[in-house]
Structure 1
Amino acid sequence: MRADIVVFDGADDLDVVGPYEVLGLAGRAGQGVTVRLVCLDGPRTVTTAGGLPLPAADWAPQEADVVIVPGGGYARSETSGIRAELDSGRLPAALAAAARPGLVLASVCTGAMLLAAAGLLTGRACTTHHRAVEDLVAAGGRHVDARVVDDGDLVTAGGITSGLDLAIWLIERYRGAQAAALVQQVLEYERREPLWRSGDPVASGAAR
């Protein structure tokens, strides 16, 4: 499994570093997982919301099995972060163009709003940070109240720390429960539930 995490200036630190650490650990443990950071204008150094410099490679979604989109900066109007990416429109357009059979698009927290802007969440089961749920629904998404929502070629996670849970689930989905268990043991972290998968019943009031 090859995963690309697409980064941009103002992305939330943990949205990026959480899944990067989980997936990287799986790779180092010989579980057949590779992960890298990419950006539209790569290769270059991207600066997170917390000021962390991250070297990113060039955008090449055709080479990935999974593309993960972090959030960050959605609640604020700034010159970087989700709001700036939405205003620019370049990243949503690139995500829309990247969609193809065999590629899973995933998001952490408000990264879902970039997928929504790309037109990829319309009518789809998905989740995001609780403060952005109304906007997600207004953009056409079908919100499911779960930690991670797996709707086939679309996997979304709600909340900043949910990037850990998203990545562990992706390891289980692609490499099996044993690989995911190994990663959790090394991290001393247990994936938080609930996990919702396509075909699962949705409890009353859990989706809108």
Structure 2
Amino acid sequence: MKIAFLVYHDITALDLFGPLDIFNRVTSWKTMLVSCTSGPIKIGQGIHIEPAEILTENSRFDAFVIPGGFGQIDFSYNPDNLRIIRSVCLNSKFVLTVCTGSVILGLCGLLIGKKVTTNRSAFDILTRLGATVISERTVEDGNFLTCGGVSAGIDLAFMFVRKYAGHAEARRIQAEIEYNPQPLYVYQTLEDDIQLQEVLKRQSGKVNSIRQAQVDYFINASGN
């Protein structure tokens, strides 16, 4: 299986490296980093990456993975980027998104009527873009697989490995990387913690306002 990871400026590092590390450990799979532009990409946490391939509208992969992050906003304002990503998604067998990578799909018009999930801060964004948002860690609808914020990409990757490389391979990799989460703080749902909800809402308020403005822009541009 040939799996391509989209990289663009200011993606969240774990959105990329969590699933990438897991897929790299499947012996029969090949992974690569791809971009819509040439030259080094500076992702979150100051890491520089050199993509192996520049995407075109004819690019196709067995699986195409789109990470999220604050850079999603600037990336999505470029209509050439969205045109290319839409084509690659339609050409590819599977499309996976981590965190707000799903917003890129929504702005490409690919999530209308689809069941999806994303970072909680972007639930209303995807709803406005025609998706049916489900508050789950991972969601699969046809050939589209989406997950919640940041660390959920690891769970999405294991789900994908289990389904398409087999239980034995998924179990081997889980043991190999000693993936046995034991979070310091445990909650059943975010809705159970009103105080934490307010903290996160304040933190994401500015970014969410910018994303809402972006949705307004694309809705007005499309005439819908």
With over 3 angstroms needed to count, the CA separation of the structure-2 counterparts of 1:96 and 1:191, relative to structure 1, is: farther
Contact 1:6 1:70 in 2 (8 A): yes
Q: Which residue of structure 1 aligns with residue 120 of structure 2?
A: 130
Once the two structures are superposed, the pairs formed by residues 56-205 of structure 1 within 5 Å of their partners are 56-58=51-53, 59=55, 62-73=59-70, 81-100=71-90, 103-190=93-180
Once the two structures are superposed, the pairs formed by residues 42-61 of structure 1 within 5 Å of their partners are 42=38, 44-58=39-53, 59=55
Higher helix share: 2
Q: Give how far 1:121 is off.
A: 0.5
With over 3 angstroms needed to count, the CA separation of the structure-2 counterparts of 1:120 and 1:191, relative to structure 1, is: farther
Q: Cα deviation per residue 1:133-164 (whole Å; 9 max; x = unaligned)?
A: 01111111111111111112100011111111
Higher strand share: 1
With over 3 angstroms needed to count, the CA separation of the structure-2 counterparts of 1:57 and 1:86, relative to structure 1, is: same
Q: Which residue of structure 1 aligns with residue 32 of structure 2?
A: 36
Distance 2:48 2:91 in 1: 33
Distance 2:109 2:118 in 1: 16
> Which AA in structure 1 matches 2:104?
L
Q: Give how far 1:123 is off.
A: 0.5
Distance 1:14 1:166 in 2: 13
Distance 1:100 1:115 in 2: 11
Structure 1: tracts of 5 or more residues without a match: 74-80, 193-208
Q: Cα deviation per residue 1:14-52 (whole Å; 9 max; x = unaligned)?
A: 1111111111122xxx2x11111110124x321112110
What SS is found at the alignment partner of 1:8? coil
Question: Which structure is richer in relative contact order (CA contacts within 8 A, separation 6 or more)?
Answer: 1
> Which AA in structure 2 matches 1:18?
G
Structure 2: tracts of 5 or more residues without a match: 183-224
Distance 2:19 2:158 in 1: 8
Distance 2:177 2:31 in 1: 17
Q: Give how far 1:98 is off.
A: 1.8
With over 3 angstroms needed to count, the CA separation of the structure-2 counterparts of 1:173 and 1:102, relative to structure 1, is: farther
Q: Give how far 1:190 is off.
A: 4.6
With over 3 angstroms needed to count, the CA separation of the structure-2 counterparts of 1:40 and 1:110, relative to structure 1, is: same
Identity, % of aligned positions: 26
Find runs of 4+ consecutive structure 1 residues off by over 4 angstroms. none
Distance 1:152 1:143 in 2: 15
RMSD: 1.8
Q: Cα deviation per residue 1:63-101 (whole Å; 9 max; x = unaligned)?
A: 41000000000xxxxxxx111012113322112112336
Q: Does 1:19 align with 2:3?
A: no
Contact 1:165 1:191 in 2 (8 A): no
Distance 1:62 1:190 in 2: 36
